Amino acid sequence: MAPDGVEEVVVSATDVTAARRALLPVYGGRLRVYQSPWTADDLARLDAVIAAVEPTRRHAGGAGVSPEGIVYRRLLLTYLDQQLATTLSAFPEGMLKLEVQAQPRR
């Protein structure tokens, strides 16, 4: 929501110019387009990893958009083992906001 109370349309895109060209005629001045550091395929790969987590360990999950317009995923786990930690560490910082109730000892 803009400071003047008008709803904004926030888009995170890998091709900002193309997104603006396609959406500006529809949304006008309400449109905010931000450069995404990752592609839809990157997010789909992360989504697949999250979906494969045992339901008993996956307390909650979802998606969000940062104040800078960057799409990310959220994951709340009851426990994080070393194998999953290694898998998740392959994704860029900022793509996943991870909260863990219990972590392995180092």
Residue boundaries of the structural domains of the chain: 1-35, 40-100
Q: What residue type is 26 in one-letter code?
A: V
Positions in the chain short of pLDDT 70: 1-3, 103-106
Predicted local confidence at residue 1, as pLDDT? 58
Q: How far apart are CA 105 and CA 95, in angstroms?
A: 24
Predicted local confidence at residue 5, as pLDDT? 75
Q: How far apart are CA 48 and CA 10, in angstroms?
A: 25
pLDDT digits (tens, 9 = 90+) for 77-90: 998 989 999 999 99
Q: What is the signed CA dihedral for 1, 34, 17, 26, rounded to 10 degrees? A: -20
